[in-house]
Amino acid sequence: MNKRQPRELGAPESAVIYTRVSTESQGEGYSLSTQVEGSRAYAVELGYQVLDTFEDQHTGTELDRPAINALLAFARTTPVDVVIVYDIDRFSRITANQAILEAELSNLGTRVEYVIGRYANTPEGELAKMVKAAIAQYENRQRVERSVRGLRGKA
């Protein structure tokens, strides 16, 4: 567990940014950079000091991802107050995995904040976040089903 030293009075909260696209070819486009840009603007708006950025080019349906693993390792050794993620489906496309990641980070004293959504730390905010995560998981499964059906039809 991450032992936190009290932050100096008036010192900004520390943050890291996590971004994700599903494939390397998507990583060559603008999605990662626009996620970073939006997340940095969010950090500036809230006065967070960004320590690092972690970028995955990996499916969001798996828990084991290179940049997520690096982020978790970083948070275990460096006090991080906030992980900034552009949107909930960038963190995970599986609601159970999202909950696991958020719980693991919470155990380290780190919270996850989403630029899109800005879910309040209230029962209503948690419910809104869970509904959005469930919709993202549903949409992903629908997309996969349509792709498989299209491939079968083509064959």
Catalytic residue among 14, 22, 92, 147: 22
DSSP state of 11: P
* Alpha helices per DSSP H over the chain: 24-27, 31-46, 66-77, 88-91, 95-107, 123-154
Integer Cα distance of 70 and 50 in angstroms: 16
Smallest CA-to-CA distance from 40 within 16, 73, 58 is with 16
Element of type H or E holding 113: strand 111-114
DSSP state of 86: S
Known active-site residue 14:
no
Integer Cα distance of 104 and 74 in angstroms: 13
> Which active-site residues does the annotation give?
22
